[in-house]
Chains A and B, each alone.
Chain A
Amino acid sequence: MIWRIVIALFLFFMLGPILLVVLFSFGSNSLIGFPMGSLTFDWYLKLVADTGFHSAFWTSVIVAIATAILATLTGTLAAIGLIRLAPAYTRTILAGLSLPVLLPPLVVAIAIVVLFVRGIGVGLGVPVVILGHILVSQPFVILIVMARLARFDQSAVEAARDLGAGRWQAFRLVTLPQIASALVGAALVSAAISLDDFIIASFTIGAGNTISTFVWGKMRTTLDPSINAIATTLLVMTVSLAALALRVSRYKA
């Protein structure tokens, strides 16, 4: 009984604030507060009409898709490489590649800006955001794919090789179908990380906006009630990606 109360309190603390934002995105009252007013979709309609939000939305989508594809590629190759190494090397390299996740995102973001502006004199923009997001997503891809590869029977690959398959052929026909669900899961997690990131994007995007930097602009200036609607949109996108990732890796693996 006491554990039920404990669990309920935890759920209230964790989900309560997030649900509030969702709830008030449908209220006609301009700010979070009771009474919340009547049910309305006005804030969403306002977003649909807002061209600033349009460009931010599509920038976020492009960055997330590019991050998902590229981080899954670099991370998966690294994971396949790592399992061929001695465990001592694997641990050291994995720890090194995970460093960008442990440092404050602020420091990573500023360092990237310093390099691109001062070091090579290339302007900032969407490609730099994508590179930054690949950097912080690939450690997660490596972990997910390595976990899958650890449970994967390497003798199947050896059997294929004995039967005359080339390296690439064995990979494409034996390994890849086995780890495909993990790759999809890793790509979805990368996309969710990319959508959720605010700090790296806000420093490296230069002009323009992602959804996160767009909502930040509104949070800093006025308490615009459409923040609730944008936040809910972002929430639905990241949570559904994460839930999908969980489903894919649960049912296929």
Chain B
Amino acid sequence: MNRSALVLLAPATLVFATIFALPVSLLFLISFWSVRSYRLQPDFTFGAWQRFFTEYWDLTLYTLLVGVLAGLICTLLGFVFAYAVRFKAGAYGDTLMLATLITLFGGYLVKVYAWKSILGADGLLNQALMIIGLRKEPMAFLIYSRSAVVIALVHFLLPFAILPIYAGLRNVPDETIDAARDLGATSSQVLSRVILPQIKMGLSSAFIFCFLLSAGDYVTPMLLGGTSGSMLGQFVLLEFSTRFNWPAGSALSFGLLFACLIVLAVLTLAAGIVVRQKPVTGPVK
């Protein structure tokens, strides 16, 4: 390997090693420690992991479900919007991407707070519904529900889905689409045989990013989820801060991470099977 390249990489790698690799390894180690009368004991037990598998497995499944759901919705909506920007918006494309960037940098907390104001019991949506006369009483279930969490997560993560998908679509040459049309492909054939195969990378990175970020979130369910919409991240925080049970918090964190990786592996495998069943080449029509 090139020695000057290693020297150039040293500062970034140093930050990565000391602020990420080392602490994350230490955190993993702590999941095998124990706590006695609020004091950490360097130990080797599976107590914390046992708790993860017995007490938290249903919450983990629910958290993964929210992640997959938010990831799928973001990828689908992100594709529709990116498709519109690339093929339908013409000269307005740049403005639309600017709007996406504003949403991206619109502030994580600001967005959650905005949804709280919209979906709250005395929030805008309830007021609007009462003004039109659809409801006499405010609907309490708008906020503090699972759907409120998913809506807010999709709103927060949509720009992260749009950007990689749009980057993929921009690299799809118009010629390939024109050629397919000239050869008699219908719009849906152009979409499934020409466009989608060329943006697989963009679609999968959009899904992975949105899935991981929503599964790991705790602020959105904390402010919008109420008791029914709680997610695992909140309990990671609870174990660490209120209960001073670092091993449990650590086991929950890594349990969630491993569970996410399993989900991604399964989905990758499933996607591979689906793609392989479709003939990639062959006559169109």
Could you list which residues of chain A lie within 8 angstroms of chain B, going by C-beta atoms?
3, 6-7, 10-11, 13-15, 17-18, 20-21, 24, 31-34, 73-75, 77-78, 80-82, 84-85, 89, 93, 96-97, 99-100, 102-108, 110-112, 114-115, 118-119, 131-132, 134-135, 138, 142, 192, 196-199, 212, 215-216, 219, 227, 231, 234-235, 238-239, 241-243, 246
Contact = CB atoms under 8 A, between A and B. Distances in A.
A97 B105 CA distance: 22
Contacts, number: 225
22 contacts: A3-B84, A14-B103, A18-B110, A21-B114, A32-B123, A33-B117, A34-B127, A74-B11, A74-B12, A78-B13, A85-B2, A89-B1, A97-B16, A111-B20, A112-B19, A114-B30, A115-B23, A196-B105, A215-B110, A231-B113, A242-B101, A243-B98
The size bracket of the interface on B is 35 or more
Residue among A31, A81, A84 with the most chain B CB within 10 A? A81
A199 B99 contact: no
Nearest to B6: A81
B110 A231 contact: yes
A56 to B, nearest CB: 13
Interface stretch (B47-55, B213-221, B269-277): B213-221
Interface in B81-104: 81, 84, 88-89, 96, 98-104
Contact of B27 (A99, A110, A219, A242): A110
Contacts of A192: 105
A104 B213 contact: yes
Contacts of A235: 105-107, 110
Could you tell me the dominant secondary structure of chain B's interface residues? helix
Contacts of A227: 113
A84 B23 contact: no
Nearest to A250: B94
B61 interface: no
Contact of A17 (B40, B114, B215): B114
Nearest to B240: A110
B15 A15 contact: no
A219 B77 CA distance: 30
B207 interface: no
B40 A118 contact: yes
B23 A114 contact: yes
A93 to B, nearest CB: 7
Interchain residue pairs A-B with the least CB separation, the first 9: A104-B216, A81-B8, A115-B23, A17-B114, A32-B117, A111-B23, A78-B12, A81-B5, A3-B88
